[in-house]
Amino acid sequence: MSILIDEKTRLLVQGITGGEGSFHAQRCMEYGTKIVGGTSPGKGGTVHLGVPVFNTVDRAVKETGADTSMIFVPAPFAADAILESADAGLSLVVCITEFIPTADMVTVLRYLSGGKTRLIGPNCPGLISPGKSKVGLMAGDIHKPGRVGVVSRSGTLTYEVVSQLTALDIGQSTCVGIGGDPIPGSTFAEILMLFEQDTETDVVVLIGEIGGTLEQDAAETIKNNMSKPVVAFVAGNTAPPGRRMGHAGAIISGAAGTAGEKIRALREGGAVIVENPARIGRSVAEALAKGSK
């Protein structure tokens, strides 16, 4: 099994005729993802990359049966693109766009609250269920189908971890990049629970970083709700307070945002803590050998 996407996913690409949208839509198609259409206002009725283009998401969903959207719309319009997908009834929206104003995301999350639409991102690499489907930027060739889930705030570290796992002949069920913005559409805790409910995920890798309290919330979920081992690494041990390090959300603005505090919380929650990212693959192998905690 996998979470969120699989070989049945019917993907709509918002911004499909733009440079980034076109490039990554083509890569997703080559991986085997079923892209059923795209949107680009003013270009409705045309065909791009062999799929129909529509002016609106609502029209696209009605004509193609799309259930998932991937967004490459520029930042000033991305929040509206997310809301348009939710209004059209899509169950999953993956927003790749970065630099969306935080105030816009506050409005988006309030609107999505209690609804059927799950948002991954923004400012994220997307997700992949190896051998089934990918929605986003992740390189398909480094992934291998298997039973380890990966959830991360860092795209680069995700690729490093997956490379280690695949080199050790350890496959992945689904890899999810939740994004590096201060307000993500989905949290560590939410994705962990999806992996907990997936009967074909045996171990989960969590890759955190400085800033916010997502890792502390994840620690509570691991402690109270997870039966599966969680291997965790938190980047940013040497980051100075008050300075953004990479992602918009990677800034220490209080004691809770430090790597040390996150590591302490995760360890107390029952996660297996890895201090050196080069050891993550080996730690997963050891967790698989031990089985459920």
pLDDT tens per residue across span 214-251: 999 999 999 999 999 999 999 866 445 544 444 444 44
Percent of the chain with pLDDT over 70: 92
Q: 32: phi > 0 → left, psi -120 to 50 → alpha, else beta; which?
A: left
Convert 199-242 into a string of H (helix), E (strand) and C (coil). Answer: CCCCEEEEEEECCCCHHHHHHHHHHHHCCCCEEEEEECCCCCCC
In this prediction, residue 133 carries a pLDDT of 98
Residue 258 — pLDDT band, cuts 50, 70, 90? confident
Token pair for 232:
């965790």
Diameter of the chain by CA atoms? 56
In this prediction, residue 292 carries a pLDDT of 52
pLDDT tens per residue across span 64-74: 999 999 999 99
Mark whether 247 is an active-site residue.
Answer: yes
Q: What is the mean pLDDT of residues 267-288?
A: 96
Whole-number Å distance between alpha carbons of 203 and 225: 14
Q: Which amino acid is at 199?
A: T
- Give, in order, the Cα–Cα distances in Å from 62 to each of 48, 53, 56, 67: 19, 13, 10, 10
DSSP strand pairing (118-120 vs 92-95): parallel
Residue 11 contacts residue 60 (beta carbons within 8 Å): no
Whole-number Å distance between alpha carbons of 26 and 102: 30
In this prediction, residue 212 carries a pLDDT of 86
Residue 185: HSE in the Cβ half-sphere, 13 Å Cα cutoff: 31
Candidates 24, 48, 143, 247; catalytic one: 247
The domains located in the chain, with CATH, are: 10-120 (3.40.50.720), 139-290 (3.40.50.261)
By C-alpha distance, which of 174, 241, 236, 240 is closest to 208?
236
One-character DSSP codes across 165-209: HHHTT--EEEEEE--SSSS-SS-HHHHHHHHHH-TT--EEEEEEE
Residue 256 — pLDDT band, cuts 50, 70, 90? low
Alpha helices in the chain (DSSP H): 19-31, 57-64, 75-87, 102-112, 155-167, 188-197, 214-225, 259-269, 280-290
Token pair for 102:
């935080």
Evaluate if residue 253 carries a pLDDT over 90: no
The total number of residues written for the chain in this structure: 293
Evaluate if residue 6 carries a pLDDT over 80: yes
